[in-house]
């Protein structure tokens, strides 16, 4: 690590071309088998006999991780037991034709049953068993202990009985409790999503390769938007430059300018983007979320007088803090250390950072986060993080280097290189750019996944003027 003091400065640097990424194949049958075995071991360790995994169009990631099936239009349930039975996927009318997307189902290692009340209102309902009968036939009854896996778990500080606070639909939970007893039906979502031990918080080489593909696709879309931005464009015109490619989105695309500045999660609204306007946008496929924020300007002269020190007072200190964040980003660092750094370098009263100083990402945009004040949860190999530190100011608006990054120890890096050599090579090229051009020190285990690679252009009409540590 360099001992020479550096600070963030504007430099003129053409954006590097890291290349495109081919879509990796879906998870292999062997990997899905291993994920189900890991869930079985986690259930046994928690003293549970069954997992009931809920999924719908938005809350799909736990089910998709285990089966490669994601619900369309309607809800679904995955029932996993410990008595040797093949897992059962319970679907509605329209998902029944989509089951073949799961390699487990194709191999005969995933059963299915249609429960039509999962379907949309007024669709046929006459050809399925009662939910109680389906659960009972899977061995859920007296003596069973059922872990419900939704999309949130709750501490006792959030709910007086967090272990029994369950976010599945009430009729499902009521049916389970009628069969097994109230105390025997608990929230087990942490087995999948807890930042310290959740199954989805340490990714395989195959997952990292897919998330790199997603980050490349989304970051190339963001790059097209930034280089195509022109004063006078309507925000819908700018959004079209992202070039949506048909992959599922992990969250709604946002695009904020002067017209909707106070609606931070707004998409395009048909507003004309003028010179001197703030601008922020994100574009997110499963496993990625690329966001940039700055000003529709060529230089500080295009800004209101109060904001003309934007680089020195706001964007530069942010970049400096994030360079320090990356220097701490290494296996074994407690998440609270990263949180403390950002709180110290970017104080709330000036930078308005309200959410975590980074979080875990997966198929869903936000899984959980080991990064919060006082966290002793260490960063682990296989974690994929969103570099999602969000400053906000009524004067300076915002700035951002929101990309995906993976942590991989030496064995995981070797596996990634052996199985996905082009992906691994791009990660190494991004590392070289970040260290040699941007001056950001990186531990060996840090693998940048996005082609935007922490590039921050404060003045968006001059995208090649970017911040670097010099």
Q: pLDDT per residue over 229-267, tens digit each?
A: 999 999 999 999 999 999 999 999 999 999 999 998 999
Q: Mind listing the pLDDT tens digit for each residue in 342-380?
A: 999 999 999 999 999 999 999 999 999 999 999 999 999
CA 344 centroid distance within chain: 26
What residues does CATH 3.40.350.10 cover in the chain?
Answer: 47-187
Q: What CA–CA distance (Å, rounded) separates 102 from 246?
A: 19
What residues does CATH 3.90.230.10 cover in the chain?
Answer: 8-24+200-469
Q: Mind listing the pLDDT tens digit for each residue in 164-223?
A: 999 999 999 999 999 999 999 999 999 999 999 999 999 999 999 999 999 999 999 999
Under 8 Å between Cβ of 172 and 77: yes
Cα 255 to Cα 136, 226, 283, 291, 302: the distances in Å are 48, 12, 9, 10, 20
The CATH homologous superfamily for domain 47-187 is Creatinase/prolidase N-terminal domain (3.40.350.10)
Residue closest to 247 by CA, chosen among 220, 273, 265, 278? 220
Check the CA dihedral 92-97-103-108 and report its sign.
Answer: positive
Mean pLDDT of 114-130: 96
**8-24+200-469: what CATH class?**
alpha beta
CA 94 centroid distance within chain: 27
Q: What CA–CA distance (Å, rounded) separates 234 from 313?
A: 30
| pLDDT cut 90: percent of the chain above it | 97
Model confidence pTM above 0.75: yes
């Amino acid at each position: 690590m360099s001992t020479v003091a550096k600070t963030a400065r504007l430099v003129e640097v053409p954006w590097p071309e890291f290349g495109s990424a081919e879509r990796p194949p879906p998870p292999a049958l062997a990997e899905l088998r291993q994920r189900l075995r890991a869930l079985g071991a986690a259930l046994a360790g928690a003293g549970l006999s069954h997992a009931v995994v809920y999924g719908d169009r938005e809350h799909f990631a736990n089910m998709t991780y285990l089966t490669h099936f994601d619900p369309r239009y309607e809800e679904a349930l995955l029932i996993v037991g410990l008595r040797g039975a093949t897992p059962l996927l319970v679907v509605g009318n329209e998902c029944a034709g989509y089951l073949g997307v799961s390699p487990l189902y194709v191999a005969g290692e995933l059963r299915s049953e249609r429960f039509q009340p999962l379907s949309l209102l007024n669709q046929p309902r006459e050809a399925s068993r009662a939910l109680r009968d389906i659960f009972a036939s899977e061995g859920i009854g007296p003596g069973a202990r059922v872990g419900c896996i939704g999309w949130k778990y709750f501490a006792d500080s959030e709910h007086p009985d967090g272990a029994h606070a369950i976010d599945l639909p009430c009729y499902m939970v009521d049916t389970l409790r009628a069969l097994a007893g109230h105390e025997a039906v608990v929230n087990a979502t942490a087995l999948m999503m807890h930042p310290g031990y959740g199954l989805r918080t340490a990714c395989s080489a195959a997952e990292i390769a897919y998330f790199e593909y997603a980050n490349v696709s989304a970051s190339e879309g963001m790059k097209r938007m930034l280089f195509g931005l022109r004063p006078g464009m309507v925000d819908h015109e700018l959004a079209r430059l992202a070039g949506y490619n048909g992959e599922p989105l992990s969250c709604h695309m946002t695009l904020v300018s002067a017209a909707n500045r106070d609606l931070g999660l707004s998409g395009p609204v048909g507003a004309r983007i003028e010179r001197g306007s703030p601008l922020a946008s994100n574009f997110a496929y499963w496993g990625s979320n690329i966001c940039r924020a700055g000003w529709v300007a060529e230089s500080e002269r295009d800004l209101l007088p109060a904001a003309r020190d934007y680089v020195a007072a706001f964007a530069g200190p942010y970049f400096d803090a994030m360079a320090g964040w990356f220097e701490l980003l290494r296996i074994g660092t407690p998440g609270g250390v990263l949180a403390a750094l950002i709180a110290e370098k970017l104080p709330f009263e000036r930078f308005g950072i309200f959410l975590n100083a980074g979080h875990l990402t997966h198929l869903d945009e936000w899984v959980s986060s080991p990064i919060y004040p006082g966290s002793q949860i260490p960063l682990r190999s296989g974690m994929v993080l969103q570099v999602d530190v969000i400053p906000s100011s009524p004067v300076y608006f915002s700035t951002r280097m929101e990309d995906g990054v993976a942590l991989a120890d030496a064995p995981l890096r070797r596996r990634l290189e052996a199985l996905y050599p082009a992906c691994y090579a791009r990660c190494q090229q991004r590392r070289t750019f970040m260290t040699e051009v941007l001056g950001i020190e990186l531990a060996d285990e840090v693998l940048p996944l996005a082609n935007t690679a922490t590039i921050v252009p404060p003045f968006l009409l001059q995208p090649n003027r970017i911040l670097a540590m010099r």
